[in-house]
């Protein structure tokens, strides 16, 4: 999938708390700073569900520093009896509030909430936003199993707001079995034979090495190679990876390496990088974010095989799911992926 704009941290307008939690007696919504967002994430006693990688503070801050110019951060925290029950990492444009995301870089989104508090959280949040003069709320494209996605329609209708709840793009994912052999048995006989044939041909072409870069000290040099391979594929990919997106990719790789979530994988032939994948490893799921390959080795199917190696490595690590993310590329089905229809939700508060 090709993911088709930025300000420095010093240029960001970071709001401060408008209410101290110590003064909250019933219900309130506060507008939070980046520092507080990170603090809530790192709070070991917090019951908030941070299960969506694309709404983790490390992701959001990297995105904001590259693409937040001209916007105002609007990180809304919802409190109930001095307890934090949810966070909406929004930005504000006039009378509109929408999730910090861009469709070519953020595969899906969610809001952060204490499980079981979704309806209550949404009621407080939407009522507050309407009182603050917000006309429209866009929480983004969400997975159908998102608790926010399932509750939002009922809450909006109960408050007499207008909601648009439409099918959006699809992601593809596969539940990973315990062994590589079991994974191959998930595939069609034809596809299983093709993968084995391509692997034999690859190993006949030279000395094959599959290596994974995860340490922060090695990430930037690995990103040099990844970006070079990515840009060399097609004019479309080269045009996509402009200087702002390159800065975002590099920043994201570094902060996720700090958080032990990055996995940069390289398939080498005789010591030459032939293909690369950029994956995220979070909560037993591996996310295939992007990839590139050396056109010199295209006949050896190195682009496809780099993903095959990534899947096999994920199985060896005991991961439970491999998420190919957005895009209807045929290889995702060939490699066992099943489609998951995302939901595009928008709420009109007037």
Mean model confidence pLDDT for the chain: 92
- Mark whether 131 and 243 lie in a shared domain: no
Question: What is the widest separation between alpha-carbon atoms in the chain?
Answer: 70
Q: Mind giving me the DSSP string for 51-115? A: --GGGSHHHHHHHHHHH-TT-EEEEEEEEETTEEEEEEEEEEETTEEEES--TTT------EE-T
Distance set, CA 9 to CA 34, 62, 64, 94, 168 (Å)? 11, 10, 8, 22, 32
- Mark whether 243 and 129 lie in a shared domain: no
- Mark whether 117 and 201 lie in a shared domain: no
Nearest to 304 by CA among 229, 194, 228, 207: 194
- Mark whether 147 and 254 lie in a shared domain: no
Neighbours of 191 (CB within 10 A): 16
Averaged pLDDT, 284-297: 96
- Mark whether 66 and 86 lie in a shared domain: yes
In which band, very low, low, confident or very high, does the pLDDT at 235 lie, cut at 50, 70 and 90? confident
pLDDT digits (tens, 9 = 90+) for 6-64: 333 333 333 333 344 444 458 999 999 999 999 999 999 999 999 999 999 999 999 99
- Mark whether 241 and 125 lie in a shared domain: no
Averaged pLDDT, 98-126: 97
DSSP state of 28: E
**In a domain? residue 13:** yes
**In a domain? residue 331:** no
CATH code (residue 234): 3.40.630.30
**In a domain? residue 2:** no
pLDDT at 237 over 60: yes
Q: How far apart are the two ends of the chain, measured CA to CA in Å?
A: 37
- For the chain, percent of residues with pLDDT exceeding 70: 93
DSSP state of 205: S
- Mark whether 165 and 242 lie in a shared domain: no
Nearest to 209 by CA among 264, 295, 273: 273
Q: Which domain holds residue 257?
A: 177-319
Task: Say what the pLDDT of residue 9 is.
Answer: 33
64, 12 contact by CB (below 8 A): yes
Nearest to 70 by CA among 17, 3, 13: 13
pLDDT at 249 over 60: yes
Distance set, CA 306 to CA 34, 158, 198, 301 (Å)? 36, 49, 11, 9
Q: Mind giving me the DSSP string for 141-180? A: EE-TT-HHHHHHHHHHHHTT-EEEEEEEEEEEEEE--SSH
268, 211 contact by CB (below 8 A): yes
Task: Say what the pLDDT of residue 25 is.
Answer: 54
- Mark whether 34 and 162 lie in a shared domain: yes
pLDDT digits (tens, 9 = 90+) for 177-222: 999 999 999 999 999 999 999 999 999 999 999 999 999 999 999 9
- Mark whether 310 and 252 lie in a shared domain: yes
- Total domains in the chain come to 2
Task: Say what the pLDDT of residue 13 is.
Answer: 32
Q: Is the dihedral of CA 90, 282, 1, 63 positive or negative?
A: positive
- For the chain, percent of residues with pLDDT exceeding 90: 88
3-state helix, strand, coil in the chain (%, to 5): 40, 30, 30
- Mark whether 110 and 227 lie in a shared domain: no
Neighbours of 41 (CB within 10 A): 17
- Mark whether 238 and 292 lie in a shared domain: yes
**In a domain? residue 149:** yes
**In a domain? residue 158:** yes
């Amino acid at each position: 999938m090709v993911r088709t704009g930025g300000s420095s941290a010093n240029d960001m307008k970071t709001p401060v708390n408008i209410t101290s939690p110590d003064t909250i007696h019933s219900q309130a919504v506060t507008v939070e700073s980046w520092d507080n967002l990170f603090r809530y994430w790192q709070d070991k006693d917090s019951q908030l569900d941070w299960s969506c990688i694309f709404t983790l503070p490390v992701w959001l801050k990297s995105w904001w520093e590259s693409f937040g110019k001209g916007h105002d951060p609007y990180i809304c925290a919802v409190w109930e009896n001095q307890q934090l029950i949810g966070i909406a990492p929004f930005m504000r444009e006039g009378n509109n509030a929408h999730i910090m995301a861009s469709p070519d870089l953020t595969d899906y989104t969610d809001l952060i909430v204490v499980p079981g508090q979704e309806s209550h959280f949404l009621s407080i949040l939407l009522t507050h936003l309407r009182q603050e003069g917000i006309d429209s709320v866009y929480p983004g494209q969400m997975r159908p199993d998102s608790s926010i996605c399932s509750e939002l329609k009922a809450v909006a209708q109960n408050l007499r707001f207008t909601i648009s709840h439409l099918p959006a793009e699809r992601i593809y994912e596969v539940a990973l079995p315990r062994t590589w052999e079991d994974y191959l048995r998930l595939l069609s006989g034809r596809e299983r034979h093709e993968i084995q044939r391509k692997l034999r041909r690859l190993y006949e072409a030279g000395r094959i090495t599959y290596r994974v870069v995860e340490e922060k000290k090695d990430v930037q040099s690995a990103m040099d190679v990844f970006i070079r391979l990515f840009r060399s594929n097609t004019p479309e990919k080269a045009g996509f990876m402009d200087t702002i997106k390159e800065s975002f990719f590099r920043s994201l790789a570094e902060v996720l390496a700090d958080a032990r979530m990055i996995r940069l994988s390289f398939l080498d032939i005789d010591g030459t990088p032939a293909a690369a994948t950029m994956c995220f490893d979070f909560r037993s799921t591996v996310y295939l974010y992007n990839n590139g390959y050396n056109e010199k080795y295209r006949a050896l199917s190195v682009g496809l095989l780099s993903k095959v190696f990534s899947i096999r490595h994920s199985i060896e690590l005991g991961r439970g799911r491999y998420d190919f993310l957005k895009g209807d590329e045929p290889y995702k089905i060939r490699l066992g992926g099943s489609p998951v229809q995302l939901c595009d939700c928008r709420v009109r508060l007037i």
